[in-house]
Structure 1
Amino acid sequence: MEGSYADHDGKIWMDGKLVDWRGANVHVLTHALHYASSVFEGERCYNGKIFLDREHAERLHFSANCLDFQIPYTVEELMAAKAEVLAANNLTDAYVRAFAWRGAGPDMGVASARNPVQVAIAAWHWGNYYGDAKTKGAKLDIAKWKRPSPETIPHQAKAAGLYMICTMSKHAAEAKGCSDALMFDYRGYVAECTGANLFFVKDGEVHTPLADCFLNGLTRQTVIKTLRAKGVTVHERHIMPEELESFQQCWLTGTAAEVTPVGQIGDYNFEVGALTLDIASDYEKLVRA
């Protein structure tokens, strides 16, 4: 998309109806703007079909419940609304953003139980999230911020507030000429990137961090299932930082990232090898099936 995301032709589904893109606005005293009471989904549509459409809608409900609010539309209604947005904008290959938040209402402190819950869905064309890294291999920084303990946040929710340290880490990475940043968790284990999960290859076997304090991505789950169906051994486990130099290949997964190879993390280099390219191809075929 060219220019500001606020200045675009098209339609956005908002609170049950399609509105003009430029008119999809909220009040400045919207609770989510001040206290991050917001959840969202990132989805991709391929050839007119949203990949894991229902699973994304179900997770939006789950995330809202984790943040102690209810979405006023069923899973089926959300799926229908996404289809309506795609049709209204004449899109068959697109990125879809569904999100829900506590709006402006009687409450303007930390508590917001009396405020209405709003929901919106937008869609636009979005190419490779990491640009030419999709073929050449991404270069990753190592973030100074760590994924916090699950005792401090609802880590299993896709909630806006959990991305604050991700934004700062990605800004720092981009300032160094990197595509993204690897984040450790509160214990010092390798965790994830700012918006994608991580996979490593060693001697033909795959190792991926155990998702016990960060989002277990739908793309991550899909790739693990695909690998195991191919007979590839997958280890979901805690990975220490010093293990990075022993891995031969690395890739990222996420709805936006899809399957993106990694060429470098800090001082460690990886080949864009056969297994990485193979799983990227398998994933591309699956989402377009």
Structure 2
Amino acid sequence: MTEIPTRSSGTTDPPSIPAGKRVWIDGQLVPSEQATVSVFDHGVLYGDGVFEGIRVYNGRVFKLATHIKRLHESARAIRLDLPYTADQIAEAVRATVLANQQHNGYVRLCVTRGPGTLGLTPFRCPRPVMFIIADDIRLYPEQMYSDGMAIITASTIRNHPAALSPRIKSLNYLNNILAKIEAIDAGVMEAVMLNAQGFVAECTADNIFIVRQDDRETVVRTPPLHAGILDGITKQTVEHIARAAGLRMEATDMTRHDLYTADEVFITGSAAEIMPVTQIDGRTILDGKPGPITRKLIEAFHQLVSNDAPED
């Protein structure tokens, strides 16, 4: 049986900082225990900043240029001037990966508004702070990739896109965290979130897809951007793989009914990669096993990243 995280009683020891790691922070690689930001940083005080989560495969940073482009777009959307050029950021990411000998792993690239005064005004923060972490990551047990995972529908809805665009990958993830708590309380590891109109948006940390098959064709569907989702880079990669395999892709509004009656369901994310979903809200998806299309996409994705993970 897979062990599901539970709420802490508050008596457990705090997690230790990974020993021997080096973190890039504003132009310097420092030991992880020395990598700190100010308590007056608006990223700490208000979640004012942006980030990217990036995979490393065989020493290559997957879709690095695409991630940096999205980082720039997120920063522009919140009127945050990045302190480095795209080339400088790419070089800093590669240097961090190399310094940590991270052949296969995960990079967290963060830019905060920087230290400022108490109060919301961002323009009293003289300069943003950028830091880069390269480490191992495993969101889900390996067994789930072969057997599938159970998820729930959260009662916490996705933030309205007119309040905070989900296309901004911001440091403020409280909306997602509240839904994640619901998942943990329900004994599962992920939750799908609906938008204000009741349509399926995305999971707390992943995009979601369904597969419908009939005698004529197979269709892979995912919520459209207007549903209030992050346009995930792994999501984009999977869509490209699906089309290359001759599958029809549709971005369309979906309800829980569409999830419950799908032939296959899977989720995607940089950290999660591609994860089959075999149960939603206690309802088994078809025969309760990862479907053939999901398995085919997982195989094609692994082939892509193992052969020559593209950095563009």
Corresponding residue for 1:276?
Answer: 294
Q: Does 1:49 align with 2:72?
A: no
Give the CA deviation at 1:7. Answer: 4.6
Of 50, 58, 75, 1:64 maps to: 75
Partner of 1:158: 169
- Greater shift after overlay, 192-201 or 21-30? 21-30
Pairing of 1:89-128 with structure 2 (within 5 A): 89-105=100-116, 107-115=117-125, 116-127=127-138
Aligned AA for 1:110? L
**Which residue in the other structure is 2:32 paired with?**
21
- Tell whether the 8 Å contact from 1:12 to 1:121 is kept in structure 2 after alignment: yes
Kindly provide the CA deviation profile for residues 21-76 of structure 1, in whole angstroms up to 9, marking residues without a partner as x.
10001121211112110111101100000110111111111111111111111111
Question: Partner of 1:182 in structure 2?
Answer: 192
Report the 3-state secondary structure (helix = DSSP H, G, I; strand = E; otherwise coil) of the residue aligned with 1:97: strand
Q: For residues 93 and 146 of structure 2, what CA distance do their matches in structure 1 show?
A: 30
Following superposition of structure 1 onto structure 2, how do residues 162-173 of structure 1 map, counting pairs within 5 Å? 163-173=173-183
CA distance in 2, matches of 1:264, 1:211: 25
In structure 2, distance between residues paired with 1:236 and 1:99: 30
Distance 1:72 1:227 in 2: 37
Contact 1:244-1:268 at 8 Å conserved across structures: no
Question: 1:193 corresponds to which residue?
Answer: 203
Counterpart in the other structure of 1:253 = 268
Partners of 2:69 and 2:273 in 1: CA distance = 20
4+ long deviations beyond 4 Å: none
Kept in 2, the 8 Å contact 1:130–1:138? The answer is no
Q: Which has the higher contact order (CA 8 A, sep 6+)?
A: 2
2:215 paired with 1:205: no
1:227 maps to which residue? 242
- Aligned partners of 1:87, 1:233: CA distance in 2, in Å? 39
Aligned to 1:38: 49
TM-score between both structures, scaled by the size of structure 1: 0.94
> Which secondary structure does the structure 2 equivalent of 1:168 belong to?
helix
Look up the equivalent residue of 1:273 and give its one-letter code.
G
Structure-2 separation of matches of 1:279 and 1:268: 23
Q: 2:183·2:189 contact (CA, 8 Å) conserved in 1?
A: yes
Cα distance in 2 for partners of 1:280, 1:63 equals: 29
Matches within 5 A, 1:235-246: 235-246=250-261
Structure 1 residue 169, shift from structure 2 partner: 1.2
Q: TM-score by structure 2 length?
A: 0.88
CA shift for structure 1 position 5: 5.5
CA RMSD of the aligned region, Å?
1.4
SS in 2 for 1:82: helix
Partners in 2 of 1:78 and 1:55 — Cα distance? 12
Q: What CA deviation, in whole Å up to 9, does each residue of 1:103-131 have, x standing for no partner?
A: 213x321112131200000101123x221
CA deviation digits over 1:187-237, x for unaligned, max 9?
A: 100111000000101112211111221201011111111111111011110
Aligned 8 A contact 2:108 2:133 in 1:
yes
Question: 1:85 is paired with a residue of what secondary structure?
Answer: helix
* Identity across the alignment (%): 31
Match of 2:158 among 143, 147, 154: 147
Q: Say whether the 8 Å CA contact 2:259–2:265 is kept in structure 1.
A: no
